[in-house]
Amino acid sequence: MDGSIKTGLRGLFKVNVLQNLPEKIKSLRAGLISVEEFQTWINSASADELKLVPQGILLRLKRGGMDKVMLASVNILPDCVNCHGIYRQGVFESRNEHASCSKYVDQAVQGNVLVSIQKPKWYKPKAGQLGPESYYSCTSCGSIWNLVEPERQCNGLWERIA
């Protein structure tokens, strides 16, 4: 095989790794492949093929448990227009803000934008996250969202976890 064909094939693999990364993460999130299978796949790619993936995210994808891989996936997989606009992500500044977000989430469930799901087995709540939690999956893009109820000093939060 001449050198230009080899170079072209390497370039094709590089594009395929980056193009396939979101699909592999979606397969992992859906339980179609294991974290070990995903990490075997990503570790088989060269550093050159993954140079566009930020180093910290790449380390979580290559070495993290399912929780770390899913949290890193938030930076790779975009959420869609349907679930992104439900409410701003983050810790609520007040209990009224939580109530407002909760209303929008309920409307999204009624409108079949979100479906209520069980807590993902891999998810570990953040330190200080005290209130009861609800989990939702977007019916369009599969993003997983967490709504934490207010408890003590925490006003709750709304965040995308995968």
pLDDT band at 15 (very low <50, low <70, confident <90, very high): low
Rounded (5°) CA angle 39-40-45: 95
In this predicted model, what pLDDT tens digit does every residue of 55-89 receive, in sequence order?
999 999 999 999 999 999 998 888 899 999 999 99
Q: Are 140 and 78 in contact (CB under 8 A)?
A: no
Q: Is the pLDDT of residue 37 over 90?
A: yes
In this predicted model, what pLDDT tens digit does every residue of 93-120 receive, in sequence order?
999 999 999 999 999 999 999 999 999 9
Alpha-carbon separation of residue 146 from 17, 24, 51, 63, 119 (angstroms): 30, 22, 31, 24, 9
Residue 105, Ramachandran bin (φ over 0: left; ψ between -120 and 50: alpha; else beta): alpha
Q: Is the pLDDT of residue 51 over 90?
A: no
Task: Give, for 114, the enclosing helix (H) or strand (E).
Answer: strand 114-117
| pLDDT confidence of residue 130 | 67
Residue ranges in 30-94 assigned as alpha helix (H): 35-43, 55-63, 66-73, 81-84
pTM over 0.85: no
Of 131 and 88, which is predicted with more confidence? 88
